[in-house]
Amino acid sequence: MAKAVSAILAMAALGLAQCAVRAPQDIGAIYDPPMVCDACEQWNLPQTPFKVFGNVYYVGTKGLSSILITGKAGHVLIDGALTQSAPLIVQNIETLGFSIKDVRFILNSHAHYDHTGGLAALQRLSGAVVMASAPSAKAFLRGNVMEDDPQFGFGPKGNAFPAMKDVRVIADQQVVHLGDIALTAQFTPGHTPGGTSWTWQSCEGKTCLNFVFADSLSPFSPPEYRFSDQGGLQAALAHSIARIAQLPCDIMMTTHPMFFNMAEKAALAHKNPTKNPFIDPDACATYAAKNKNKLARKLAKENQP
């Protein structure tokens, strides 16, 4: 475990705020123009990368997760945060002694700009294969959310991210193999139609633990979207929440690090390197219960006279 991890700044809300692409700046021809949104500056604050357990490393920013899983046959990267996060992710990978050019597969949680924005540049830099569920793949190729996304009402400018040219569609429960790395896609729609969580095992010596990278499960949308309407994602989100709660789960991480208390756990690891505070078999059930309550409150508000 790295000996120093910067503390995460608290953020009041992790829903998507309206944003827009601003004029390109001198950030290198390989990178895309940065996004502007209410939370973008806070989300994109640099974060010291660190080892979580085994071959799993945190390489994201303070407010947006990106996970590197390393192997002799190459590496897997999950999520790309904002467009302006891509250079930070590359730097974090290099700080740990790895190379973006050795990333073979890029996976994603869901097709919103704060988790997908950096993927196009990261794909160009690595030459990696991007994999996603069918609904997410459509959004990736479009460079924007689809009409059935709960956040479609924020508008095309508020939802835009760089489009990708080549995306491999995966199925629910499909296993992605890379050497001795094996990750399983767990479709968890609701926050978006194509939401995907990822599960795998990582080992240190003879100790092997079950990892869950849980997708966002919050019922966030513009006021006019109703999860309880016909065609809404109420049932899908409820099923996804239940699915996360039942997964084998020794270490859970999520799309936003504050949802798994990254700063607090990293600080504890710094104080006592012999104990790994990221190991928490109750984390998935706790995360699911919190989002179940969020959904109940959302539905109750929708059904008020």
CA–CA separation, 204 vs 209, rounded Å? 9
Which residues, other chains included, contact 26 with Cβ-Cβ below 8 Å and sequence gap of 6+? none
Question: Which residues carry out catalysis?
Answer: 110, 112, 114-115, 191, 225, 256
Contacts 24+ apart (CB under 8 A), 284-289: 284/212, 284/214, 284/244, 284/245, 284/247, 284/249, 284/252, 285/245, 285/249, 287/214, 287/217, 287/244, 287/252, 287/254, 287/259, 287/260, 288/217, 288/241, 288/242, 288/244, 288/245, 289/245
Which residues, other chains included, contact 249 with Cβ-Cβ below 8 Å and sequence gap of 6+? 210, 212, 281, 283, 284, 285
CA–CA separation, 149 vs 133, rounded Å? 14
For Cα atoms 101, 187, 184, give the angle at the middle one, nearest 5 degrees.
Answer: 50
236 Cα distance to chain centroid: 19
Look up residue 29 and give its amino acid. A
CA–CA separation, 189 vs 241, rounded Å? 9
DSSP run (H or E) holding 130: strand 129-132
With the C-alpha atoms ordered 248, 250, 253, 257, is the resulting torsion angle positive or negative?
positive
